[in-house]
Amino acid sequence: MTPALNLWVQERVNKTQMSNLGRMWLRFRRNRAALLSLVFIIMLMFLALAGPHLNHWTYSDQVLKNANEPPGNGYWFGTDSLGRDLFTRVWHGTRISLLIGLFTGLCSVTIGAVYGSISGFVGGLTDEIMMKIVEILYAIPFLFYVILLMLLLDPGVNTIVLSLAVVSWLGTARIVRGQVLKIKEEEYILAARILGAGKGRIIMRHLIPNTMGPLIVMVTVTIPDAIFAEAFLSFLGLGVSFPVASLGYLVNEGIQGIRSYPWQLLYPAVLLSLIILAFNLIADGLRDAFDPKTNS
């Protein structure tokens, strides 16, 4: 292929990709629930960064004489049993929960995309062995990873993130492998082989970019799953450790005084529910946007 022809083909591919992205964005915008959820998540990220700095309290400041104060009197969300400002702790907890979810989603895409692409593209015995490894890891309960890592490492955010990262990529790898098996015999893949492109180049430049639709959807599904998993572990006492607080940790603390001090549970529980709902609505919107059967 001559340089001029190669440049023309690349320009045509770029224009096609841009037009496809434009149509996907239009389809996504038509889903009002998904669009509003995206705006909500962006606002939430801003508040998670700025919220802990909007008053003079830190998330660990203890004023025992002001313990269990209701909202008001300088405490916008009230205080907990140790006199700590709940407004600051809720936004700090939101930051921790979002970081856990986003990092887990990044691990899911990075590891799962590469692993699934290699497995599907190489095929044969390599594919069979790689998928057997995935099946074995799937068969081990998630709590086993958490308990094992807690025996080896100190309990905390890093241990939770590592536990989630160990298992989050398995479903992504399966989906990417299935997509690669469909597209690896397409004409443009055969043309790349004829032109002398190596396996690594084909995987990184052709296969993974053409599975971006399912990958993006998987990220938006993985993030709320990771946030909920962390909240569940914190509720069991296996989550983040004192004095760091996540939303799950705050829910665990708040439920102990739900009858006498309901505001301690209300704010983190509502925020946690809204975050999980918003990410799931975004995932639904992206799934429809990337669906080629959807009307443009």
156-198: pLDDT as tens digits: 777 888 888 888 888 888 888 888 887 777 666 667 667 666 6
User: How many Cα atoms sit within 13 Å of 200 on the Cβ side?
Assistant: 0
User: What distance in Å separates the CA atoms of residue 133 and residue 170, rounded to the nearest whole number?
Assistant: 10
User: What distance in Å separates the CA atoms of residue 42 and residue 133, rounded to the nearest whole number?
Assistant: 37
Kindly list the distances between the CA atom of residue 4 and the CA atoms of 11, 17, 189, 197, in Å, as whole numbers in the listed order. 11, 20, 20, 18
Nearest to 200 by CA among 108, 109, 117: 117
Top-level class of domain 31-290: mainly alpha
pLDDT band at 19; cut points 50, 70, 90? low
One-letter amino acid for residue 147 of the chain: I
Query: Residue 234 pLDDT more than 60?
Result: yes
Q: Please report the sign of the dihedral spanned by the C-alpha atoms of residue 147, residue 152, residue 157, residue 163.
A: negative
The answer to which of 160-164, 235-239, 277-281, 289-293 has the lowest mean pLDDT is: 289-293
Q: Please report the sign of the dihedral spanned by the C-alpha atoms of residue 144, residue 147, residue 153, residue 156.
A: positive
User: What distance in Å separates the CA atoms of residue 174 and residue 180, rounded to the nearest whole number?
Assistant: 10
DSSP 236: T
Six token digits for residue 120: 């599907």
Say how far residue 35 (Cα) sits from the centre of its chain.
18
Do 104 and 172 form a contact (C-beta atoms < 8 A)? no
Query: Could you tell me which residue, 31 or 151, shows the higher pLDDT?
Result: 31
Average pLDDT of span 46-65: 81
| Mean pLDDT taken over the chain | 79
Instruction: Write down the pTM of the prediction.
Output: 0.79
DSSP alpha helix (H) spans, 153-211: 157-183, 187-194, 199-202
The answer to which of 4-13, 115-124, 206-215, 265-274 has the lowest mean pLDDT is: 4-13
Task: Name 72's bridge partners.
Answer: 75
pLDDT band at 42; cut points 50, 70, 90? very high
Say how far residue 19 (Cα) sits from the centre of its chain.
27
